[in-house]
Structure 1
Amino acid sequence: MNTTCPALTPAERRHAEIQERVEQAMMAAIETAIRAASERAAEALRCAGFDEPSPAYEYFVAHAHQQLFLRLCGADTETFEGGDPEIATFVIRNARNIRDHYWAKDRPATPEDAEA
């Protein structure tokens, strides 16, 4: 018997399935938008005569991440003003927990870890 996660009712299961489908579609749309932005930037810079490479795909991922972080914390996305530091701390701690649990299980602790 599973005592840590009770069985979902049919209605709860249906709700979870709907939410999961919507989340998957949202993430697919975000991925499509980031790839499209990267491709549009490359094309626009090429058409403008720039020889330098366009920003990498990861640049656009990082920009989206920053903008979503600001929105999540309630900050103005242009000025970065007005965010809730408690929400920011929670989000940063969550990211560190993901790092530690999935990617850095065997690495030694660093001074930044003490700040978490």
Structure 2
Amino acid sequence: MSNDNPFSEALFRTLKVHPSYPVRWFRSLEAVIAWVRQFVAWYNNEHRHSGIKYVTPSQRHHGLADAICEVRRRTYEKAYRLHPARWSRHQRCWKQPDIVWINHPRPAEHRVA
């Protein structure tokens, strides 16, 4: 049984709600290819993903995410020290996850045979 459907559905949703998604059909295959190339470039190089602490996949891939998140952590700490009353909850954790999954595998006892 394939487990790629949740990832596909999430990607299609992101694609369809993107402001540049066309409201009319594409006029040609070339137009589709050009739009998808632009979307993929945006998705990898500009779109900040919550699962990787709001960095881009490109930043994570090229090893820049830890430094970016460290700056954010220090910024949050400073803001908290200066204005603790503004914080109603704990500070956000900016530590990058050790492993990033598209679809995290289910524990063995929850797998459908």
More helix by share: 1
TM-score normalised to the size of structure 2? 0.27
Pick the structure with greater CA Rg: 1
TM-score normalised to the size of structure 1? 0.26
